[in-house]
Structure 1
Amino acid sequence: MKLCRFLVGATLLAIGLTAGHEPAQAGNSTLGTITFLRGDALRAKQGTHWEPIKEKTAVFQGDKLKTKEGARLEATLADGSKLRLGGNSELNLQQVSFGKKSKAKKKVSVKLVVGRVWASVTSLFGSDSKFEVTSPNAVAGVRGTRFAASLGDDGSTTVKVYAGNVLVSNQPIYAIKGHTKANRVEVAGPQEIAKDAWEEMVAGAMKMVQVAANGEMTAPQEFQMAATEDDDWEQWNSERDKLAGISE
């Protein structure tokens, strides 16, 4: 059982840094701050027990975030990028490393355990920089774009790109330069993908790709943003991006 990977490229306006309002954990760097919260959400500080959180709470490497039904959460990272969760979602903040200079390399890796996440990511500098959003059967390597991923009850991952382009591949990440088998993550659900079944697809803005639990991918398909009374997820994220000065 292996993960597959998405590579995303685009250009966004940089957005301002947001400082944390909580003392830094010993030996750990601040990843960002909760800048919006509607409804109930919890944090497991560095993977410990779950506790309620509120706006202006600082988050750190190793923390886990969980939203209750109907909740919305936004975390602004130290580089100005945004991560947002819908209701009944869980995100693990696995790795964070930001350089002190504006164009220093950064390394961020977060894992979507359940639900859906929206990422509005500032540009990366240097080949060593990365911003990865993983799910049980996908890894999204983001470079300054607006992007969303959601997990279905059947184990599939749906990737929607709102700005930029995405290279979709079901190639296992440990077979990609910079990853080794020692870094391989085993997950329950997705089936192992044979080497001769690896493939790539390119999806541009306003295109979506679905990755089945067994690694099979659909061709990129166009989609339209459509808010309904039951689900205003895309509209809400677009409004938050506009408030942050993030261009379409």
Structure 2
Amino acid sequence: MKKVSLILIPICFFVLLSAAHAAVGKVSKLSGEVSYRTRDNIPYQKAKDGIELEVGYWIKTGRNGWARLSLSDGSTFTLANNTELKIDSFLVSKEKKSGIFNLSQGKIRATVTKLTGQQTNYRVKSPTAVAGIKGTEFMMMSQGYANVFFGNEGSAEISGDSETSKPLSSDTIVQNTRGITPTDPVKVDENTPLHTAKKSFEEITAAKPPEDWEKSGNLPGIIARWNINYGHYLADTGKYEEALYVFQIALDLTDNGDIKGDARLERGSVYASFLRNPEAALAEYLLMLEEYPAYPQRETALYRTGMILYEMGFAKRAKERLLQYTAEFPSGKHLGNVETILKMIKD
């Protein structure tokens, strides 16, 4: 009996060891600059078609890179350019399957299969968001602090740092930034900039790579600009905190100074006009002046800074800013109001 037990121990150990090192899947297709590494904190090496992937592996695409990962359960992950993904965990059995995939940055399309009677619990995590997947196809972009999710089929649950989640379903968009609870889902209507963005996302994560990556580079700006327009709608309907959040997502989503300048002005306007919070509005305008001094929004930001300081009773500081306005914009669109206030300020 002891001999049988001794024989079974190494057999069981071998089975467990084999399961632990079983391949998660493979890189089934790739194009352009694609590299991988087998664990954290080691250099990347060039990837080739067919390399097997295991838990702990990283896949990274360059500026013209594209890769499709085919998992052992039939699910696929398609990585667009400038994307970095880690396989944190992966386990598949007849009864259930689970996996955690960390998206450090970039754009992916995840198509997760679901079999009848099989419990599915996949999660795709970025530094500031989590997508809980039961069996669906969706697209995810992680850009700086911000995350954008488009639903294609099925449903997923999107969350930030807390457990509060928002549903992502077919032809909707959900967003978040800085780990905050995501926005409510918004329907992606045809013939809108948002629909154009979704179609571009689908093209760069399709079954074959695009001919060029211009659409990929334009995506953050298109969605950020849409957020500014959507924020207007939210503010006009009295949803001021939601509007501020959407403007913040626009700020975090793009490096375009013109869009960032508009987002700062819009946040300042909501604080000043609707929430009666001049201190917060002033902070937004000062950030605009400091961070984007060469953009056309500077004129309005400088004018509003002077006016808010005057309304708050800081006449001397208001005068300094308003005189600065007249010096920088001698034919400015707010010059009449500025001159009127300057006459009212006593030395």
User: Normalising by structure 1, what TM-score?
Assistant: 0.66
Q: Contact 1:46/1:60 (CA < 8 Å) preserved in 2?
A: no
Give the 3-state SS of the residue equivalent to 1:30 in structure 2: coil
Give the 3-state SS of the residue equivalent to 1:234 in structure 2: helix
Query: Aligned ranges for residues 106-125 of structure 1 at < 5 Å?
Result: 106-123=97-114
Residue 202 of structure 2 is aligned to residue 220 of structure 1: no
**Pick from 21, 26, 51: which aligns with 1:28?**
21
The letter for the 1-side match of 2:149 is V
Q: Contact 1:105/1:124 (CA < 8 Å) preserved in 2?
A: no
| Compared CA separation, residues 118 and 138, structure 1 to 2 (3 A) | same
The residue aligned with 1:44 is 37
Aligned-partner Cα distance in 2 for 1:106–1:216: 27
Q: Contact 2:139/2:201 (CA < 8 Å) preserved in 1?
A: no
The letter for the 2-side match of 1:63 is Y
Aligned-partner Cα distance in 2 for 1:79–1:36: 17
**Which string of whole-angstrom CA distances, capped at 9 and with x for unpartnered residues, describes residues 156-176 of structure 1?**
111111112233344635xxx
- Matched-pair identity in %: 24
Between structures 1 and 2, the one with greater helix share: 2
Please identify, of 106-115 and 163-172, the stretch whose mean Cα deviation from structure 2 is larger. 163-172
**Which string of whole-angstrom CA distances, capped at 9 and with x for unpartnered residues, describes residues 46-71 of structure 1?**
33331111111111100011111021
Give the 3-state SS of the residue equivalent to 1:87 in structure 2: coil
Give the 3-state SS of the residue equivalent to 1:217 in structure 2: coil
**Which string of whole-angstrom CA distances, capped at 9 and with x for unpartnered residues, describes residues 102-124 of structure 1?**
x3311211100011111000016
The residue aligned with 1:168 is 158
Query: Aligned ranges for residues 1-248 of structure 1 at < 5 Å?
Result: 28-47=21-40, 48-99=42-93, 103-123=94-114, 129-153=120-144, 155-170=145-160, 172=162, 199-223=164-188, 225-226=195-196, 232-239=200-207
Aligned-partner Cα distance in 2 for 1:148–1:125: 24
| Compared CA separation, residues 172 and 35, structure 1 to 2 (3 A) | same
Give the 3-state SS of the residue equivalent to 2:27 in structure 1: strand
Shift of 1:97: 1.1
Alignment RMSD, CA only? 2.8
Quick check: which has more Rg, 1 or 2?
2
After superposing on structure 2, the runs of 4+ consecutive aligned residues of structure 1 that deviate more than 4 Å are: 24-27, 124-128
Give the 3-state SS of the residue equivalent to 1:226 in structure 2: helix
**Which string of whole-angstrom CA distances, capped at 9 and with x for unpartnered residues, describes residues 63-111 of structure 1?**
0111110211000000010011111110011001122xxx331121110
Shift of 1:227: 7.4
Aligned-partner Cα distance in 2 for 1:156–1:227: 16
Unaligned runs of at least 5 residues, structure 2: 1-16, 209-347
Aligned-partner Cα distance in 2 for 1:143–1:83: 15
The residue aligned with 2:251 is none
**Which string of whole-angstrom CA distances, capped at 9 and with x for unpartnered residues, describes residues 200-222 of structure 1?**
43332100011121504322122
Shift of 1:26: 10
Greater relative contact order (CA < 8 Å, ≥ 6 in sequence): 1
Unaligned runs of at least 5 residues, structure 1: 1-23, 174-198, 241-248
Q: Contact 1:227/1:235 (CA < 8 Å) preserved in 2?
A: no
